Amino acid sequence: MSTLILGGGVTGLAAAWHLQQRGQAVEVWEAGSSVGGWMKTLPWEGGHFETGPQGVLWQKGTAVDRLFSAIDLPFKSPGTGARWVGKGGRLIPVPASPPSLMFSSLMTLGAKLRMMAEPFIPVRGAEPEEGLSAFIERRLGRGVATELLPAMVAGVLAAPADILSVDAIPKLRQWEATGSLVNGIRKSGVSHMVVPEGGMGALPIQLAARLADVRTGLRAEALEAMPDGRWRVRGGGEVREADRVVLALPAFEAALLLGSAAPQSAAALGAIPYTSVDLWHSRHAALPQLKDSFGFLIHPPEGRGYLGSLVPSWMDPQSAPDGLMQLRSFIGGAFGKPADLETWEGVQARLQHWIPTLAAPLAVRHERAERAIPRPELGHRARVQAALAGLPAGLDWLSNARFGPGVRDILEGLESWA
């Protein structure tokens, strides 16, 4: 069986790796000049910065662990750093473990007591699809849903929790299915944030190095069914025929190619919204209270488009020159971007509102991540089901919009798929 995979992001490359491991002939086409999609580590004087993910959740014996071991990818964990939620004009520490949430000022006593009842809340069937905020409110109470969830979700999906489907974070339903979230988390164990040596971009590079046939700079432009049931793909002046074509592409890119071959799938995929976000990377003199931390997220109503700032130099010390601390500030997303956040001066003013002792940066760079993050709004499940059901034999679609937003979700989803 020959397979052509379109898209050389982590999804396409990991899918190709799984198929190659099973002895199949696989070719990958990547439109960009290098592999990785959003997962790229780019040089920046004296260090580097990430265009997309800063780390991946790793745990012994999981899909991430199995893949990293199989491709000999060295990685490090920074451990557990402090993290905060910006609320009420100040940064409030987020406790490292759920039990210590009881002593946190993040929520009222009533909200904490309600949260403790979670193990006794009955499990609800998967259908009909529930909203993310409604799910959290049902299981953990209104306090968690309104006071804690919005900042956490803004930090992952750059979107308001109350428009999203519970499927936006697939782990939640998986944990509930074990009886309760507490039980699910206890059973699945603790994951650690890890970063490959050299940055996240090392993962797609290592995957590509182990694949027989990866082509970059080759964008698929048309897809057509052949009379013998095989598929023909054209792009960049090349034509390829394969038994199977896997579209490892964002939904909107897959929709373009599927237009005539699978119109129902194309319509369903075209209806999945994506979020754009502005990323400001900045290097500052290291501040003791911030430099060894994960960073902070802002309760969205208070953030007014400023979602928070993380500390990549804590996760990956090689990213910044010695003595400097590297921040990455997230702006806009589905919350919109007010005019003051169009420039670094505006972003710096917001940063210094929360960290008044932060010195002006020694270097700054701005990246616009256009349509970078899928937005699984309520109704997402039906869209994904319609997209998959409409695919003729020999076509498949793989994406974080199908498996979940994080690299861990993708690698777990792909392992089952393969």
Ligand X SMILES: Cc1cc2nc3c(=O)[nH]c(=O)nc-3n(C[C@H](O)[C@H](O)[C@H](O)COP(=O)(O)OP(=O)(O)OC[C@H]3O[C@@H](n4cnc5c(N)ncnc54)[C@H](O)[C@@H]3O)c2cc1C
Applying CB under 6 A, the residues found at the interface with ligand X are 6-12, 29-32, 37-39, 52-56, 219-220, 248-250, 253, 277, 279, 369, 372-373, 399-400, 405-408, 410
Q: How far is the CB of 249 from ligand X (least distance, A)?
A: 5
Nearer to ligand X, 145 or 401 (CB): 401
Nearer to ligand X, 115 or 151 (CB): 151
C-alpha to C-alpha distances, 299 to 225, 276, 289, 357, 410, nearest whole angstrom? 49, 19, 20, 21, 27
Nearer to ligand X, 56 or 161 (CB): 56
Q: Which residues pair with 308 in a beta bridge?
A: 297, 330
Nearer to ligand X, 139 or 306 (CB): 306
Structural contact between residues 309 and 351, judged by C-beta atoms closer than 8 angstroms: yes
Find where tokens 């208070």 sit: 302
- Sign of the CA dihedral 321, 54, 185, 301? positive
Q: Which residues pair with 84 in a beta bridge?
A: 93, 296
Q: How far is the CB of 338 from ligand X (least distance, A)?
A: 20
Q: How far is the CB of 377 from ligand X (least distance, A)?
A: 17
Q: Which residues pair with 244 in a beta bridge?
A: 3
The C-alpha atoms of residue 311 and residue 242 are separated, in whole angstroms, by 44
Nearer to ligand X, 181 or 245 (CB): 245
Q: How far is the CB of 257 from ligand X (least distance, A)?
A: 6
What is residue 392's three-state secondary structure?
coil
> Which stretches of 239-355 are DSSP H helices?
251-258, 263-270, 288-291, 300-303, 312-315, 344-354
For 167-191, b where at least 16 C-beta lie within 10 A, e where not — what string?
bbbbbbbebbeeebbbbbeeeeeeb
Nearer to ligand X, 58 or 180 (CB): 58
Q: How far is the CB of 120 from ligand X (least distance, A)?
A: 32
Q: How far is the CB of 399 from ligand X (least distance, A)?
A: 5
Nearer to ligand X, 49 or 135 (CB): 49
Q: How far is the CB of 31 from ligand X (least distance, A)?
A: 4
